[in-house]
Amino acid sequence: MAKIISVVSGKGGTGKSTLSAALSKSLASSNRKVLAIDLDIGLRSLDILLSLENKVVFDFGDILDGKCSIEAAMIPHDSIETLFLLSSPNVVSKSFSIQGLISLIKSLSKSFDFIILDMPAGLGISIIMARELADLNLVVTVPDAITLRDTRKISDAISTNTSRPSRLIINRVSKSALLSSGIKDLDEMIDSVGIPLLGVIPEDEWINSTIPQKRSTKNSITIAKIFDAIGERINGHYVPLIFRQI
């Protein structure tokens, strides 16, 4: 059975979807079979982040409506043979139900090592699915006072009436971001959210760049190592935090 990992955030703009894509690629590159599911109905982005936007024909809404098979909707990655994408619809039919979607994902877990759920930002479907489905919840935040407050809200909501573990990912970290937000250090952010830290990702334009010419080889190697380390920690291995000079 796959380990189901939900990636959530209290508000948009934290880099949650970028992290979902990078983590999916990292886990799949270590010879694990990975399914990335975009659950942000109407605002999907994983297809672009995984460079598969021109290959989306069907989505999980089509599966639930009986318009296509599961196999027809799952898109294999072009260069990572153990990575697959299941995209979200722009709109769902009147018959759509969260429990139907949960049942679909549970049935898919038999065929993968990991399922990464890129949740919509904020409360709602993310809370329901994180409580009922995820083996691990990755809560993504950035150095920003308002975002931190919203991160604490979603973390507390997920932990209500459930024992499913949550871990914190602090994204887009830089000296300027910390100074402008009035946040003293990363420890203050961890204390504000109240869940254990899993990884720290520096601010880096390479992460969000899909244009090869804009990518720095040195930066790309460092960022790749950071996501690989996060993947190893998810697998229960001790890997020290990697801090690039910021």
**What pLDDT band is residue 123 in, cutting at 50, 70 and 90?**
confident
More confident residue, 218 or 8: 8
**What pLDDT band is residue 130 in, cutting at 50, 70 and 90?**
very high
Neighbours of 31 (CB within 10 A): 9
* pLDDT given for residue 175 in this prediction: 87
- How does pLDDT run across 134-157, given as a tens digit for each residue? 999 999 999 999 999 999 999 999
* pLDDT given for residue 162 in this prediction: 79
* pLDDT given for residue 15 in this prediction: 92
* Cβ partners under 8 Å of residue 213, min gap 6: none
State the pTM of this model.
0.91
Q: Which domains does the chain have, with CATH numbers?
A: 3-234 (3.40.50.300)
Mean pLDDT of the residues in the chain: 89
- How does pLDDT run across 177-213, given as a tens digit for each residue? 888 898 989 999 999 999 999 999 988 765 544 434 4
For the purposes of burial, counting CB atoms within 10 Å of the CB of 132, is it exposed (0-12), middle (13-18) or buried (19 or more)? middle
Top-confidence range, 65-79, 154-168, 209-223: 65-79
| Residue where the block lists tokens 């949550």 | 166
